[in-house]
Chain A
């Protein structure tokens, strides 16, 4: 086969790679997409089964996926096997790196929560003096948010809060249940806004790269995709300094291959993109690549019961539905022991209660479960993690994955800011719930390990100064003009918001810019 040089090589098929493919191909640019894993087909790769028919009755197979708390026996085969693609860390500082390499990546399974970043995130340093501002503001990204929200069909309600920017929504006119109204009233008395959440409806039950973005790209005839290839290294031309070759290995056969490319768009996911560049020893004149690893605090929260909904009295009008409390701390006032803020997911349910909410067993427990059925109400935190230089990833030269590619070592920990924020979230939740007349059954102050949120961000952050950032404000490498990184690795701060809609909007913006630069012959 004659060796060809592709116009744009996109590494990764998730939300950000999918958006890059859609934008670039719709502008007439030919793209080749590489993905490390296979294409999944729900029709042939899944089956509805009862837990008793599984080898371990629904318990995870012992010893596998110890860091993927979200895994169970039903979904175990969707996650990256930690033995195939290991990573290392200090045992005193565990990290949960949760990955999917199926075509479409984690976009196949995400939670759909869709919140814009505000200028409390984009210009966080200007607000409180910590860290760095992004080189862009909400105004720069707003047009891309609007276009992305239309594609994803984000449902929401305008609230007019600067920390919870309104967007291009499918209207959410759903009513509040009575329990939610009581909780909202509690919040009002305490200065805590309780709002409708915002969520991507997608199409036909899916809001993934594979159904919202890639079909449009394929329809142009300009996208080709290769699954089951693991990229090993990028190589740059010694004379020009530009990337010109991508080396990869066939996942199944282990055959080593390479392809030439005019432009490379990295969209492998924050840590895989950074891992690839660190292994390739490229694009790091600043020395900050790998640093400022961010994610979000998850885990702390409360579980309650709405007394009026017990003993068979639960109705959807009385108890049900969800809400979102956007960041309200450190907006117009300063907290004593933490900066930035957190959001709270609020949920209520007409369904069964969790038996772990009761210190009981046997018939007593069953009686409680019967009585409390339908009365569940709870909150859980999504908290900002500060970007710190010392939270970083590096290459562990002593360990390789199943394809002999050196793995990542992850060094990160939460500090007092995150711990104090979590405590405030739980205490505030308890106060609001009790003021609303709910019974608090259980509470948890302890964050889940870093990484649990599956919102890892940073490590190739953008900035105006090439000495302190890896990318410019267009997600383009400062060092290598034909390299763009469009996934979450470009983030300067993480906020509390699920990053998906933001990284997709940024990928759209970067791809628009790239297309124009290619049209002008600058790249």
Chain B
């Protein structure tokens, strides 16, 4: 039996971000990582929905970073262009994003809060996309080494009394994004 991963056939149900934040994140993902050459873009790879899951399960400081960052991005779009960030075109998005792009090294992202959000979100969007099954399938078909294949360690003799990890954050299921 060759088991499938759920992403091969299923969509992630997004529950954490508000409708507006989710729309902002989707547009941000499209802008930062569009489809290129034969490789899927972030939205084709289910990245926004995956990040909704990941950030929803994250500690509160990470959640706040994304929520406040997405809110600010949307607010700036409305302020500058009179439209939601979800509706900006590429040139408008560039005007809002480029001033905050930085070069940085591992473990030392920009310290200013909004620059931190923009650059971390960019990095997360890239990682979630490149580590997706659709990306991997294109790489394999192109004869390239499948990105980020690694040696996974299972728990070794796990402690019988081990405290289970904190339950993943379960936001209200009333939020179902289109």
Contacts and interface: CB of A to CB of B under 8 A. Distances in A.
Contacts of B165: 61, 63-64, 83
A45 B156 contact: yes
A360 interface: yes
B70 interface: no
Contact of A356 (B50, B123, B132): B123
A362 B93 CA distance: 12
Contacts of A355: 123, 126
B128 to A, nearest CB: 6
Interface string B42-60: 0000000010001001110
B101 A57 contact: no
Interface stretch (A204-212, A248-256, A455-463): A248-256
Contacts of A441: 103
Nearest to B31: A362
A63 to B, nearest CB: 5
Interface in A317-373: 354-363, 366
A423 to B, nearest CB: 14
A362 B7 CA distance: 24
By size class, the interface of chain B is 35 or more
A172 B58 CA distance: 47
Contact of B160 (A69, A84, A252): A252
Q: Which of A46, A78, A102 lies at the interface centre, i.e. has the most chain B CB atoms within 10 A of its CB?
A: A46
Contacts of B127: 57-59
Give chain A's interface secondary structure class. loop
A52 B133 contact: yes
A84 B162 contact: yes
Residue among B107, B124, B160 with the highest chain A CB neighbour number at 10 A: B107
A102 B156 contact: yes
Interface stretch (A115-123, A179-187, A442-450): A442-450
Contacts of A48: 149-152
A52 B161 contact: no
Contacts of B149: 48-51
Interface stretch (B19-27, B32-40, B78-86): B32-40
B101 A62 contact: no
A74 B159 contact: no
Contact of A69 (B107, B124, B153, B157): B107
B6 to A, nearest CB: 10
Interface in A281-337: 299, 301, 303
A135 interface: no
Contacts of B105: 301, 303, 356, 442-444
A381 to B, nearest CB: 12
Contact of A38 (B31, B36, B106, B157): B157
Contacts of B112: none
A48 B154 CA distance: 11
B170 interface: no
Contacts of B101: 359-361
Contacts of B132: 52, 57
A59 B31 contact: no
Contacts of B36: 362-363, 366
A357 B102 CA distance: 8
A74 B151 contact: yes
A75 B154 CA distance: 8
Nearest to A448: B107
Nearest to A359: B101
B87 interface: no
A77 interface: yes
A319 B37 CA distance: 27
Interface string A406-446: 00000000000000000000000000000000000111101
Interface in B58-75: 58-59, 62
B128 A77 contact: no
B160 A253 contact: yes
Interface in A1-55: 37-38, 40, 42, 45-54
A252 B159 contact: yes
A200 interface: no
Q: Which of B59, B148, B165 has the most CB of A within 10 A?
A: B148
Contacts of A76: 153
A356 B7 contact: no
Contacts of A472: none
Contact of A62 (B37, B59, B155): B59
- Which residue among A56, A253, A303, A356 has the maximum number of chain B CB atoms within 10 Å of its CB? A356
B150 A53 contact: no
A195 to B, nearest CB: 24
Nearest to B37: A366
B150 A49 contact: yes
A37 B155 CA distance: 12
B58 A38 contact: no
A242 to B, nearest CB: 33
A253 B159 CA distance: 9
Contact of A40 (B104, B131, B156): B156
A37 B153 CA distance: 15
A46 B7 contact: no
A56 B132 CA distance: 10
Nearest to A102: B156
A78 B152 CA distance: 10
Given A58-B148, A74-B152, A50 B58 contact: no
B136 A52 contact: yes
A402 B5 contact: no
Contacts of A301: 105
Given A57-B131, A62-B58, A46 B108 contact: no
B153 A51 contact: no
Given A83-B163, A361-B97, A57 B152 contact: no
7 contacts: A47-B152, A48-B150, A48-B151, A64-B165, A299-B107, A361-B122, A366-B36
| Shortest beta-carbon contacts, A-B, top 3 | A38-B157, A51-B131, A359-B101
Given A57-B54, A78-B156, A359-B103, 14 more contacts: A54-B152, A58-B131, A58-B150, A59-B127, A62-B57, A63-B59, A63-B166, A299-B107, A356-B106, A356-B119, A359-B98, A361-B31, A362-B32, A363-B34
Interface of B: 5, 7, 31-34, 36-37, 50, 54, 57-59, 62, 97-98, 101-108, 119, 122-124, 126-128, 131-133, 135-136, 146-157, 159-163, 165-166, 168
